[in-house]
Amino acid sequence: MQRAALVNLGELATYDAAKGFILASGVFGDTVLCHAAASVLSGLVSALISTPMDVAKTRLQNQSTLAPQYRCAAAVSGAAA
C-alpha cells in the first residue's frame, strides 16, 4: 500500500509538471514526443521514490524469522543510513 502511494505520487505529480515544462520550453509541441519525454521523466522519478521502500520490503521479507533484525520499514531505513 505504501509503495503504491509513492509510485502514484511520483508518476502523477511529475508527469504534469514535466509536460508543462517541456511545452513551456518549446522543445516539443503537444505531440507524441512531448508525452513520451514526460512519461520517461515521470517513470524515473517514480522509480527513485519507490526504490527505498522496495529495499525495505525486501529486507523485511528476507530476514530470519528466528532472529528478526528489523521490526518495521522505519527500522530498515534507520539501519541503512
Q: Could you read off the pLDDT of 43-71 as tens digits, one per residue?
A: 998 888 888 888 888 888 888 888 888 88
| Total number of domains constituting the chain | 1
Buried b (16+ CB within 10 A) or exposed e, 39-48: eebbeebbee
Confidence of residue 80 (pLDDT cuts 50, 70, 90): low
For 49, the grid coordinates are 521514490
Residue 45: give the domain boundaries: 2-80
pLDDT of residue 79: 63
Q: Averaged over 2-21, what is the pLDDT? A: 84
- Dihedral sign from CA coordinates of 53, 47, 3, 7: positive
Nearest to 55 by CA among 19, 81, 29: 81
Distance CA 46, CA 12 (A): 9
Instruction: Give pTM, 2 decimals.
Output: 0.71
For 16, the grid coordinates are 504534469
